[in-house]
A = this chain, B = another copy of it.
Amino acid sequence: MADFLDISTLLEGALRIILLLIVFLIVRAVGKNIINRSFSRMKEQKNMQPGRVQTLNKLSVSVFSYVLIFIFFTILIGIFGLEIAPLIAGAGVVGLAIGFGAQGLVSDVVTGFFILLEKQIDVEDYVSAAGVGGVVEEVGLRTTQIRGFDGTLHFIPNRNISNVDNHSRGNMRAMIDIGISYDDNIDEAVRVLQDVCDQLAAEEPAIKEGPDVLGVQGIGESDVVIRILGKTENMEQWGIERKLRKACKEALDKNGIDIPYPHQVYVDKRQEQ
């Protein structure tokens, strides 16, 4: 460094800068190209929405560019012969502080990237994630917005989304449990309930499978529990379950089969002794 003012040093420096610039531009062009092409290929193969692909593409190019620019500048400063060590120290300390503080941000973006890429969540899906359930309003790189059924708008940082329970990907189950009394005939109750199921299945096009009476699911404290199971179109399960409950209740009433109240046997102390 003693010969800082030497011409050959200057020449060398200039040469290096030019070399660096060329390398930088080439790497940048090549990198962008590779990213763009891989995303356009992905779009064709996986049949993804153009908007979603574009978001991912733009993010990838941004990250790539920022990293490149950061490297470029630090190398540049090194070429000017300035001591690079302080920069390392400074960057190290700042980086550490930020690294710890902002890891959540990086974590958000990484998770968001994969939620978009793997199509785990679509806008308008009914999902449960991060302890919150509702209809998705927006999937961003940092936050996902879910509209709860009570009208609340939930902002969820993507890092909080670990398991995604997507309730909008296929037929849903309709299931009800009906309790009959110990004294009623199980076979007859099953027959009556199966008739109800068959009739409803015939009336409701939203029903895709069953519903069928499975049998004695449990013996409760005061009742014999009978389970009915079926499959319905997505989001129709609650409506079908409501209709099934009403129909079963009315059919059991008509056939004189009891849905029993809790029972208790009373033992009178005076007679026991």
Report A's interface with B, CB cutoff 8 A: 1-5, 8-9, 11-12, 15-16, 19-20, 67, 70-71, 74-75, 77-107, 109-111, 114, 118, 120, 128, 130-132, 142-143, 147-157, 160, 162-167, 169-173, 175, 178, 182-183, 186, 214-219, 221-222, 224, 231, 234, 237-239, 242-243, 245-246, 249-250, 259-273
Contacts and interface: CB of A to CB of B under 8 A. Distances in A.
Number of copies: 7
Given A153-B165, A265-B268, 16 more contacts: A74-B87, A75-B86, A92-B92, A92-B93, A99-B99, A151-B170, A152-B165, A152-B169, A215-B239, A215-B243, A219-B245, A221-B262, A222-B265, A264-B265, A265-B267, A266-B266
Given A105-B110, A162-B157, A267-B261, A84 B89 contact: yes
4 interchain residue pairs of minimum CB distance? A101-B106, A74-B86, A93-B95, A215-B242
Given A97-B106, A106-B100, A217-B242, A120 B155 contact: yes
A45 B239 CA distance: 43
A71 B87 contact: yes
Contacts of A92: 88-89, 91-93, 95
A50 to B, nearest CB: 22
B103 A222 contact: no
Contact of A155 (B85, B86, B163, B259): B163
Q: Which of A70, A90, A118: most chain B Cβ within 10 A? A: A90
Contacts of A171: 151
A152 B132 contact: no
B151 A237 contact: yes
A172 B155 contact: no
Contacts of A266: 263-264, 266-269
Nearest to A270: B271
Contacts of A273: 183
